[in-house]
Amino acid sequence: MRQKKVLLIYPYFYTGIVKDQLFSPLGISILAGMLKQHKIDVMKLDCTFITFDEAIRKAEAYQPDITGIYVMTTLAKNAIELLKTLRDVNPNSHYVAGGPLPSLYPKKFAKEFDHVFVGEAAKSFPSFCRDYFEASDAGDFLKYIQNEKYPGLYGKMMDLNDVRRGYLSSEEIDACPKPDRSGFNHEKYQELCHQATGYKRASIMMTYGCQFSCDFCSKPIFGNKVRFRDQDNIFEEIEDICSYGYDTLWIADDLFTYNPEFLKRFCQRLIEEKWNIKWSCLSRVDGITDEMVDLMKKSGCYKVYLGIESGNNRILELMNKRTTTNGIRAGVQVFKRHGVDCAGFFIVGYPGETIETIEETLAFSLSLDLEESSFNVPYPLPGSKLYQRVSGISDDDWTIENETRFLYQSEFDENWLKKRIRETKEAMGRSE
């Protein structure tokens, strides 16, 4: 009897734009690790460094029984194009969608895919695959499937009200094996990252969820409840990452620095065990102390990325950032006192802004003496409050990289914004 197989696809095709945030796909690595724990044959198809035709050939040659495709907003077009072609070459495969966009619009994606997983699928998707393969009659299994057994599972014949979104408890997260990073083109990822940053960075997640509700943010996967991984598991994963030749970590958590005790234990272990690895992370500016940042620096933290967003308190309140310009300035100063570089993210042209508030934000960015600043127009992510408030949203192309371009009807002139952003970056001594 032929071994049953699962194919996991990350449908991003590298465009050639130099950027410092290009990592091997963590989501399908986590799923692959779980599937292997269930003794299921799995292949990861990372499309980053191959062509569309190569991806189709690899998928056709593998002949999977289940094909899972990760879908986020910027990858939706690629995912649907792959799906349509794969249905022709692998007509007997069962096609499943997961990721942020299917979690937000399960009905929409259930029209294209056989099933959708809503929310975190690290436990329920592998269990679904195992039971599907073990069923004496796969058709009957799908016809009479009990979706309560598989949190987040949704299909076109199901009642969406009965779908229980899949969130993992801390205990379930700790029971997961480390992500399976085998088979990726690590040499190419490291080459491009080193070219952009001077480091060879890999991504890792140590906490899940975010308790804040910024107006422009969408949290379709991890939700509001913050959960922390066991640090023994974290360091086992770091050891695996280092074995592939990486020398730096990008900690992709929304709230990595928000819990002082968790952060302190992580930093102290890096120091005491002499890991000698560099790391960077996202951080809020509030709750940061000199003691905390001193420990971060000593443990290898070289840079933090701060969601500053605006230099006007009224706009910060409109964004529901729950911070102020004075708090932002104080937080940046703490990091800089201890030699940790700061990069700032800013949003200009937000609904409710004026020319004056935009100018305040640009001036504020200059006053903070940041090592790096990124300016973007509002990006109305599906599922965010911002998405619900703006009109005329274009959903035909979310794939444009590094471009100041509104995806909805805005009162602000893109050309003027591009000019002012360029002038501000030139004033910082950097050009776009």
CB 66 within 8 A of CB 92: no
117: which strand partners? 153
Q: In sequence order, what DSSP letters do the residues of 305-328 get, joined into one string? A: EEEEE-S-HHHHHHTT----HHHH
Eight-state DSSP code of residue 76? H
5-170: which CATH architecture? 3-Layer(aba) Sandwich (3.40)
Q: Which residues of the chain have pLDDT under 50?
A: 397-398, 401-402, 431-432
Give the separation between CA 325 and CA 22, rounded to whole angstroms.
31
Question: Residue 432: its pLDDT value, please?
Answer: 43
Q: Residue 376's closest CA among 409, 346, 411, 341? A: 346
Question: Helix H segments across 159-200?
Answer: 170-175, 186-197
Segments making up each domain of the chain, as ranges? 5-170, 171-427
Edge-first strand order for the sheet with 301-309 is: 201-204, 248-251, 278-283, 301-309, 341-347, 372-376
Burial bucket for residue 294 (CB in 10 Å: 0-12, 13-18, 19+): middle
Question: Residue 430: its pLDDT value, please?
Answer: 55
Fold category of 171-427 in CATH: TIM Barrel (3.20.20)
Question: Helix H segments across 183-222?
Answer: 186-197
Question: Residue 249: its pLDDT value, please?
Answer: 98
* 73: enclosing H helix or E strand: none
Give the separation between CA 191 and CA 193, rounded to whole angstroms.
6
Give the separation between CA 305 and CA 149, rounded to whole angstroms.
39
Estimate to the nearest angstrom the gap between the alpha carbon of 337 and the chain centroid: 30
Neighbours of 79 (CB within 10 A): 24
Q: Are strands 341-347 and 372-376 parallel, antiparallel or unpaired?
A: parallel
The length of the chain in residues reads 432
Q: Three-state SS string across 238-289, please?
A: HHHHHHCCCCEEEECCCCCCCCHHHHHHHHHHHHHCCCCCEEEEEECCCCCC
CB 90 within 8 A of CB 60: yes
Cα–Cα distances in Å, from 213 out to 210, 244, 384?
Answer: 8, 36, 9
Question: Residue 130: its pLDDT value, please?
Answer: 96
